[in-house]
Amino acid sequence: NAGVTQTPKFQVLKTGQSMTLQCAQDMNHNSMYWYRQDPGMGLRLIYYSASEGTTDKGEVPNGYNVSRLNKREFSLRLESAAPSQTSVYFCASSARQEFLYGYTFGSGTRLTVV
Amino acid sequence: QKEVEQNSGPLSVPEGAIASLNCTYSDRGSQSFFWYRQYSGKSPELIMSIYSNGDKEDGRFTAQLNKASQYVSLLIRDSQPSDSATYLCAVNIFWNTGANSKLTFGKGITLSVRP
């Protein structure tokens, strides 16, 4: 049972480059989320998808776009990477009643923008 | 701004002691509360959930909830060096119209258990 799978695990980008972070879950969860985690800032929500076909902005969406490709997959795209986007990115998913079961997190992507 | 606050750390306790981690939240409509453990370089892992006032015990862990005072705490009894990690409090908070809720996380507190 893989749970939530993120790729890649590590990435170094040059300023201005673009890339897509991939996330897939095999738990038949409806909702999926992208967070970034920075020292002293905690987990901050970038975008979320409450169900297949819908996406909404979170707390820090600027500089990012997302695609909910199907029920399993939710990708995060950086169109023009900036050093301020250096962070650890976590994808998470939850069943419809997330208030009962919480979120399951992927293993994270450590991104460095130079 | 709906917030989840965790008391500043880091927290250091000797092996075998009780570690007490506290969290307060601002939204009185919150219904569910979670504690996540995050080892350095790893992803958050759910360790406890609590929904009603009182205590909930699971092994060495006890979650305590007081909705009137809007706080939730995690007690770790007989602390072990393997408990050394960052602990994140998460609260379901209703956003916007209130039709949907999402988890809001505190910034975490780092616990160090000294042998």
Specify the pLDDT at position B7.
77
Q: Is A100 on the interface with B (CB under 8 A)?
A: yes
Which residue is associated with the tokens 């927290």? B11
Mean pLDDT (whole number) for A37-50: 91
Are A100 and B51 in contact (CB < 8 Å)? Answer: yes
In this complex, which of B32, B34, B43 lies closest to A108 when CB atoms are compared?
B43
**What confidence tier does B93 reach under pLDDT thresholds 50, 70, 90?**
confident
The CA distance from B50 to B34, in Å, is 6
pLDDT of A24 higher than 60 = yes
Q: Which of B51, B92, B105 sits opposite A42 (nearest CB)?
A: B105
Q: Is-contact B72 B55, C-beta < 8 A?
A: no
* Antiparallel, parallel or unpaired: β B61-66 and B71-76: antiparallel
CA distance B88 to B23: 9
Residues in B closer than 8 angstroms to A98, CB to CB, are: 92, 101-103
The answer on pLDDT for A39 being more than 80 is: yes
Work out the widest C-alpha separation in chain A, in whole angstroms.
Answer: 41
Touching check for A45 and chain B: CB below 8 Å? yes
Q: Among all chains, which residue has been given the structure tokens 């820090």?
A: A60
In whole angstroms, give the CA distance from residue A94 to residue A21: 19
Distance from chain centroid for Cα B60: 14
Supply the pLDDT for residue B99.
53
- Is the CB of B108 inside 8 Å of chain A's CB atoms? yes
Rounded (5°) CA angle B106-B110-B115? 155
CA angle B50-B101-A63, nearest 5°? 120
- How far is Cα A109 from Cα B16, in angstroms, rounded to an integer? 35
Q: How far is A56 from chain B (nearest CA, A)?
A: 12
Residues B26-67 pLDDT 10s: 988 888 999 999 999 999 999 999 999 999 999 999 999 999
More confident residue, B8 or B60: B60
Rounded to whole angstroms, how far apart are CA atoms A25 and A36?
18
